[in-house]
Amino acid sequence: MLPFDRLGRRVILPYSFSKMGMIVDRYPKLHDRILSTTWAQNVLARRLDVILSELEEFAPDLLITEYYPMGDAFWTNEVPVFLKRIRSKVKRIFCSCGYVSPVDEAVEVIDKFYDAVFIHSPQRFLEAYLRCFRFDDRDREKFMPVFDVHREKIRYTGFVIDKEEEEIETWDEYILVSRGGGVINRKIISLALGFSKYRKDLKFVIVLGPSTPESEVNEVKELAGENVIVYHYVSRPQFNYLLKNCRVSLNMSGYNTSTKLLYYRKPAIIYPLDAVEQVARAKCLTEFLPIRIIVESSLSFRKLGEWVEELWEIKPSSVFSESDFQGEKDFLRALQYELQAIPE
């Protein structure tokens, strides 16, 4: 997690409208009908006013957008509009992203508005990720040329990872089950609970995530056996401690968890969502760590047990150097250089 709050003020727009646009994007006619309504245009106009008023108030030298235009395609109807309005008012515009996903207009938008794109991973990891990404023909035609056309603007910082650790109650040896900050994937928790009853000889720590409603927390705790510790939420340093000391991780291959798997060199069983980027990252991780990927919900507990036993004894060797995990320092150093290069 990059410390943008320490760098300067942030303008955070809720995803509600844009997420709706993403959900209906697979139905182009419905998507176009919604965007053409007076209501939708009023929402877009109001959000644009919020951004512009903030920018007018504190007139930043640098403007950084997170992910877009190298991901989060649902911002397509908003971000280019305000970038066009404020391009002449800010001295540098950057994109900061941990991973990428196809955006049709990326080549054009970067050409018009962006001074640099910072990708927070080593180049060889990003290249492995792209090899595993399930691109359709349109994505390959529209998005992939960005890496050639704008190779001078694209910079790789290394992984962004917080390394602080804080001890928390756990078992001596255990499987760590986590799903990040979201609550979308209930299947991974159900799988872990069922498997913990099948293999009572194993210990489990389940971290549900901060957004989990209290009702689900209570339900999971009631279903958990004596060999399971359930945490509603743990801090990042506590999660680092749990991951560092586990024998096997069961997770969804989100960016933060994946970088920490690489840092602590942990074998893992990954149960990704259908999201293309999670599936791609899970497949990519198999090039660097002992990883097993759950591709069907009908996976038997017997097979899962075989995977755990296989991974339990593996101690992966280092595949990345310490310098590959200095993404935050490299990024901040680059921003400082850019600030110093701006004429008074």
From residue 151, alpha-carbon distances to 123, 129, 170 in Å are 12, 17, 46
Q: Which of 247, 260, 268 is nearest to 171 (CA)?
A: 247
Q: Which of 63, 92, 88, 8 is nearest to 338 (CA)?
A: 92
* Distance, CA of 124 to CA of 244 (rounded, Å): 24
- pLDDT at position 49: 80
Q: How far is CA 279 from the centre of its chain?
A: 12
- pLDDT at position 270: 96
**Averaged pLDDT in 10-residue chunks for the chain of 344 residues:** 55 45 41 60 75 74 90 81 85 93 94 96 96 90 96 96 96 95 80 97 96 92 97 95 98 94 97 85 96 85 96 92 95 88 78
**Backbone phi, then psi, for 269, in 5-degree steps?**
-110, 125
- pLDDT at position 62: 85
Residue type, 61: D
Burial of 305 (0-12, 13-18, 19+ CB in 10 A): middle
Q: Which domains does the chain have, with CATH numbers?
A: 4-159+325-341 (no CATH), 175-319 (3.40.50.2000)
- pLDDT at position 53: 79
* Distance, CA of 243 to CA of 261 (rounded, Å): 8
Element (H, E) at 256: helix 255-264
- pLDDT at position 26: 40
Handedness of CA 110, 113, 115, 118 (dihedral sign): negative
Torsion of CA 164, 169, 173, 179, to 10 degrees: -70
Q: Which two tokens stand for residue 239?
A: 């999660």
- 209-226 burial string, b = 16+ CB within 10 Å, else e? beebeeebbeebeeebee
What one-character-per-residue DSSP string does 106-146 give?
HHHHHHHH-SEEEESS-HHHHHHHHHHS---HHHHHHTTTH
* Distance, CA of 234 to CA of 242 (rounded, Å): 10
- pLDDT at position 21: 40
pTM, two decimal places: 0.86
